[in-house]
Amino acid sequence: MKLWITSFLAGLVFGLGLIASGMANPDKVLSFLDLAGAWDPSLALVMVGAIAVAGVAFALVKRQSTPVFGREFQLPTAVRPDRRLVLGSITFGVGWGVAGFCPGPALVALGAGIPKAAVFVAAMVAGMALFELLERWRIPRRAG
């Protein structure tokens, strides 16, 4: 029960933060990405703040032996980017630049009733399903 409540509160704070910062507004995001036009640098501060919070969180996690609400930490082990990470990052960036959404803000915008978000979320779910199908096809072929 504690995990459910903690997860709900974390999601609520995250969603409210996305709304307050403007990250759920695709027009604001696209203005931030338009370096050659009417650039809006305000989201850079949001990103710097997010990186700072994540940096502190990772530093605290490294000091703990076990998590408060789990059995073990699940931290990344890779130290160098691989081809899949680079291709995924490029795909994410292109989608963000075209639509003005990334997954978290898209879900918040969908909940707020923004029609563009419904199209983005549908495409996102289709992309995740396609990835799962490709992974299921790739893994047995690799093992054999």
Q: Are 92 and 86 in contact (CB under 8 A)?
A: no
Q: Check pLDDT > 80 for residue 44.
A: yes
Query: What pLDDT band is residue 53 in, cutting at 50, 70 and 90?
Result: very high
Read off the pLDDT of residues 65-93 as tens digits, 9 standing for 90 and up: 888 777 888 877 888 999 988 998 998 89
Phi-psi region of 141 (alpha: psi -120 to 50; beta: other; left: phi over 0): alpha
Is-above-0.85 flag for pTM?
A: no
Residue among 103, 90, 136, 122 nearest 24 (CA): 103
Q: How many alpha carbons fall within 13 Å on the CB side of residue 126?
A: 6
* Model pLDDT, residue 52: 96
Say yes or no to pLDDT of 2 above 70.
Answer: yes
Q: What average pLDDT does range 56-60 have in this prediction?
A: 89
Which amino acid makes up residue 66? T
Single-letter amino acid code for the residue at 16: L
- Which amino acid, residue 19? I
Averaged pLDDT, 31-55:
89
Q: For the chain, what is the mean pLDDT?
A: 87
Share of the chain above pLDDT 70, in %: 97
